[in-house]
Amino acid sequence: QVQLVESGGGLVQAGGSLRLSCAASGRTFSPFTMGWFRQAPGKEREFVAGFRLSGGNTYYADSVKGRFTISRDNAKNTVYLQMNSLKPEDTAVYYCGARRGFFTRIRDEYDYWGQGTQVTVSS
């Protein structure tokens, strides 16, 4: 089992920044693919950013490319999402997900999820 705990959400004005954290515990962290997803009210959970921990490529949704950056600290078993130039449409609950296999943007392919952290961007 893998446990994921997100933190770092909050209320920010448009144009501001936040950094989300996802702390993982449980089984060995390194073989996993990690992803950030978000879910706005009345919408489905959508892919935001992700990577496979053993590889070098990062992947982003077009809507956040150039504004968000995913990174990791292997020593702390933590994945981060730096969010800059935030827009009201970024308002959502942000979730961290993990899976054993190769990278995918497909939500249902992820095996583990955190509880989510709310991000609200005011205009």
Encode pLDDT of 96-116 as tens digits. 999 988 999 999 999 999 999
How do residues 56-111 score in pLDDT, each as one tens digit?
Answer: 799 999 999 999 999 999 888 899 999 999 999 999 999 999 998 899 999 999 99
> Looking at residue 112, what is its pLDDT?
93
pLDDT band at 43; cut points 50, 70, 90: very high
How buried is residue 33: exposed, middle or buried, by Cβ count under 10 Å (0-12/13-18/19+)? buried
Rounded CA-CA distance 109/123 in Å is 34
